[in-house]
Structure 1
């Protein structure tokens, strides 16, 4: 760390950590920041996006942070509602991710800005919305610094209205992601018209999201489609949103080839790329292709690489448990919760190689694909320029709030929707 960066970092540490973080970790040397800081850093570099690593286990958290430090990159750690909400299948959750990150960052001397993101906070119905009014504040009390409100399961008017209803419960300084179109592969693709309706409606009510997620051709989990991300569609939608200064959040990154991911970074306004399944598989020692997509044998079972990831004995125990439960392929994600403590109880040499595998993969993504290296100073600079932890909105209000009443939203929203694709559970 250069002397200049050390001085800037020290000042950013004093003024750049949000109030929930300073309350939780008053003596910490970890620069946990709003998601806005990360978006501004990547935007400042240009033609770059950083990893939003889903910390399904502690090894992924360690490996991603070590890679970020080596690459001098600003990054995001996140967990989704399905992974870490009240019905979690992971030990990492909305209420302990910040604590894990802070501990690892202090232990390893991590000196890059890191945001703690609540990914895919789904609001599917009125019940979810009422629960969110209690649950979302509890998550920020536990150290979340950024959130994705995902009401994309609902029709376009309800998506917007749910996003408006939950916004008062989100701190103004926090990073904010919105979503149009569920992530469900090549079906139900998002349109510029849908995205514009959502962003304009939020803007009319004084809300300026940092990111928008689209269904642009990807799926969560193990990929089954060769098409993957539709770069041209993504660029078209981002272009339509130019006046509102919203960046893109790329979901379903695992399994897409490096050339396509480079194009997303180079040809669109994407600054955040979610990676979940690949990191889990690599930490376990599962055979993956160059894109991080898990290989399966003829029976649809995962293939373990000897000498990588967890011990062979632990793998045998996990697979026996999965067989008993009827979990195969992508459904083996459910092994995270029952096996976290067993994985942490392995010998240090095994734990270290689990972390090291994640670090190598994430470092290569950051430096060779995402173009996110050396964005840490840009994040620190954004804090210093703002004079504190609250960077404010990127876009000012353009739309007329009087026009965007509930009646107008319902009437207009009914005309923008296209093919939503098949129904089903596409969370992750």
Structure 2
């Protein structure tokens, strides 16, 4: 093999990648910009591309949108959903919804890396589902689907050797992400072993990040407006002026109409589509007696979120969600276990200085509180809004955090 051919085999892929990055950057910077209309659509779109990217999120948060981290509950949109209420009553904040079924602490940790300058010293809302805290914790398939390579690269580039860094790298490697490049994987292995990222790896990471950012910007305008249209329609059902008594009356009225043909007091459409077909409901009776949310790697993953918030001086309010009480009784889920998991989560928060917590875990039996078996709706959203809105709109004292590495230990993960 000639010397020229050998050199091309070594440097050819790098040169080609560099040219492609340049072309993508040129196209993105010349023809694409994130405008207000795109931000508004993206904020409620729950798009996986928006979640994994950074361009739209960064632009929207600069314009005053507030991140609402969560999972599947964010998609349960009715007139009382936080996004609907904030728009209807002209709050001085607008929620930017970040979450879908399967997104948990580890997913959120990576995707928020591209938002550092926008959430540093700012407020955020973080909705916690005790259902995250299963024996397995984060499901690798879900993590892969929502994997944010841009966020992972940014995290790698800012990482320093510590117990938190080593643990995080090991957890990401355990997800077996198929889309991570060789440089990302190799860098994570180095960090997991307490080693530095090499100069060559840094160069490859920078090139990958540039290409991914250009791609993110290039496709940023293609965001569905379906949820935006639904929120606009839903607002017509709300009172013209904010009045909690009138809102509650409206919620009760709508819920009574929409949950009147099933024994659980949940959405009729959910019951028909998800439970009533075939013999699914019969099979679920008594099916959750063995479920335990007290022992889970999710407690350590959640600690990584808390450590990141503390490092960036983020002031979060946490919302802990309930389970429909009638569903608890039907499936045999232990209410005692659920409340112990709630106490464990709250202890992890309060002992480190995270004092803004909306604990709804015991409210699953309240009338018209749950849209389905595990998700807030109607009065549930109202209860959450009543606590979250004042937190976001009023000045809060600067929090003082005391992050403790014991919360990533296996001992804490397994503690009951």
* Structure richer in strand, relative to its length: 1
Same fold (TM over 0.5): no
Q: Which has the higher contact order (CA 8 A, sep 6+)?
A: 1
TM-score computed with the length of structure 1 as normaliser: 0.30
Structure of larger gyration radius: 2
TM-score computed with the length of structure 2 as normaliser: 0.31
* Structure richer in helix, relative to its length: 2
